[in-house]
Structure 1
Amino acid sequence: MSPLLKIRAERDQMSAIERRIADYILENAHLLRDYSSQQLANALKISQSSVVKFSQKLGFKGYPDLKYSVGESIARGDGETNGSAEPVRDDPHAALAESLWHRKSQAEQETRLINPASRIDAIAAAIDAAGKVFVIGLGEDGIPARAFAIRLSLLDILTVHHFDPVLMAAGIAGASAGDVLFAFSEHGNQPALCQIGRQFRERHGKLVSVTRHTANALCTIADFPLLVSAHDERAHIEPLLYQSALRHLLDMIFVLLCERGERLAQLDGNLERIRAMLEH
């Protein structure tokens, strides 16, 4: 596991001092081999013990182990920190495409790292066993929510999708034990969704939150928090990374569902009926 990927994935959960250390390492990873823990501390104007504790929090015995692991990662070409891959052509569009693909790939790796396979399997099992799956997302979060709801419907999973919290509050009145609610909220701090989530859990339903990998109210109350890690200093790039990593995460759940029982045959049948409708 690349230490640079781990640092990026865990950054949003770090304290202010830890984020300063993380950012410095990510930006100067190729220089880290020349730094002792004291020199790194001096560069950041923090205590040496803060550097040591940071290393241990990441699972290393100390700073030397972290430094060695980062050096190995760079030698392998893992987790580059400059935000772009070296373009193989001079075409400016090719360079842009390669850079964007590289950043999306990093975001997907980070996101996969913080969502254990056991959690993904448990979510797929809960959906498969549910009588109904409720899906809600407000504003821009409504776009991936709607796409996911459609995909579930194509698998013959009874799906109730709303983009209005009032309508969803009314909808979950008919929820039963074992039903599943997917609540999409990038930052996880919308009071209405948190209230709906609590009401749903009172009915013994399973709440799946879909948020960034930050401390937020929605993922705190969820049975299964799905977390997305996507970071970039450029305001126009970061949302693209978030959407890409989120889509990849949801695609994994969809593929797992397709491989359960008769779901794939149900998908094929529904797609065939849709094609027949479009051809007439």
Structure 2
Amino acid sequence: MHLLHAWVNTSRNESTGFMQNAQNLISHLNAIVEDLSQNEQRIAHWILNDPSKVTTMTSQDLAQQCGVSQSSIIKFCKKIGLSGFPALKIALSADVARAQDAEQIHGDIFSDDPLSEVAQKMYNSKVAALSETLKGNTSAQLGAAVDRLVAADRIIILGVGGSALVAMDFGSKLTKLGTAVLQGMDAHIHLANLARFTENDLLVLISYSGKSKEVLAAAEYARQHNIPTIYLVGPSANITPESHELELHCVASENLVRSSSISTRTAQLAITDLLFILLAQRAEDMPSKIQDSQALVNRIK
């Protein structure tokens, strides 16, 4: 059964049309947002970004904020199984109150969620991150990134915190293709190595916020010395790439709590894995290179 139909069937009372407590509204909107029309997605995203504020608004207020008609708000409410805007505010109020009573573990997962609901919410958040990240990068951008990876004599992949794990994974994959990657988790060592880089090398910066001080320091140095740079950042990062720079995007919805940036890493890994596969397509004797790398590692097992 379609997620939207399942919600309507389980959440609407036949006599009143009001929602029952079969499933919380915020979790449901996260699950179905990709199935909605463009205007409906605009409404859903506005609600998800600030559910507390929506509980104090009129339908006309929300319509103005979303750039849609007031009737579109009412139709949206009915489509998701509610009798109207007042019912939506009641459902959101219940969700907001629940969030205050239960400990928020990650995203829209709370300490009192049953295992099945945790699994579904986690799955939904990862699928959403992958889908939005795919939409956020064009084939031209990805192709240009591969061109720069191929052309570089040496590569530094720098990330901080959770992004450092993604950087290490990407670097490890690239070495299997014979790429000269300077490995390590220490950002300070990367900065020291960057001081010896030239226009023939490449800097890859992985940071969802784009605001880590190590990332900013590396970006500033690379820009001053015309070192080609690829940024892999989130939508809120304020970057205006120059001619020798390229920006790729990862998109993850982890507002309120980002205890371990799970969806963010999913989005970042989706891009780095895709770049690796695209590089592998271009590499000569790719299977033999990977086999040689694995054979050498197997000698010490």
Specify the TM-score bucket, using the shorter chain as the normaliser. 0.5 to 0.7
Give the share of equivalent positions with the same residue, in percent.
18
Larger radius of gyration: 2
Give the TM-score normalised by the residue count of structure 2: 0.62
Q: 2:297 aligns with which of 255, 260, 274?
A: 274
Judged with a 3 Å threshold, the aligned counterparts in structure 2 of structure 1 residues 235 and 2 are, in CA distance, closer, same or farther, namely closer
> Where in structure 2 are the equivalents of 1:63-142 lying within 5 Å?
93-142=115-164
> Where in structure 2 are the equivalents of 1:146-185 lying within 5 Å?
146-185=168-207
Could you tell me which runs of 5 or more consecutive residues in structure 2 were left unpaired when the two chains were aligned.
1-32, 52-56, 81-94, 96-106, 109-113
Misfit runs of 4+, over 6 Å: 5-9, 25-28
Judged with a 3 Å threshold, the aligned counterparts in structure 2 of structure 1 residues 203 and 265 are, in CA distance, closer, same or farther, namely farther
SS at match of 2:211: coil
Measure, in 1, the Cα distance between the counterparts of 2:194 and 2:172: 19
Alignment of 1:24 with 2:16, yes or no, is: no
Any idea what the Cα deviations from partners look like across 1:179-200, whole Å, max 9, x if unmatched?
2111122211123422322322
Measure, in 1, the Cα distance between the counterparts of 2:219 and 2:197: 12
SS at match of 1:259: helix
Partner of 1:201: 223
Could you tell me which runs of 5 or more consecutive residues in structure 1 were left unpaired when the two chains were aligned.
10-18, 29-40, 56-62, 75-81, 85-91
> Where in structure 2 are the equivalents of 1:233-248 lying within 5 Å?
233=255, 235=257, 239-248=261-270
Q: What residue identity is the alignment partner of 2:236?
A: T
Q: What residue identity is the alignment partner of 1:173?
A: A
Higher mean C-alpha displacement, 162-171 vs 117-126: 162-171
Q: What residue identity is the alignment partner of 1:99?
A: K
Measure, in 2, the Cα distance between the counterparts of 1:5 and 1:207: 36
- Matched pairs, number: 232
Give the TM-score normalised by the residue count of structure 1: 0.67
Judged with a 3 Å threshold, the aligned counterparts in structure 2 of structure 1 residues 2 and 161 are, in CA distance, closer, same or farther, namely same
SS at match of 2:233: strand
Measure, in 1, the Cα distance between the counterparts of 2:240 and 2:215: 12
Q: 1:211 aligns with which of 233, 239, 251?
A: 233
Alignment of 1:265 with 2:282, yes or no, is: no
Measure, in 2, the Cα distance between the counterparts of 1:141 and 1:106: 19
CA-based RMSD of the aligned residues comes to 4.1
Partner of 1:43: 59
Measure, in 1, the Cα distance between the counterparts of 2:215 and 2:43: 32
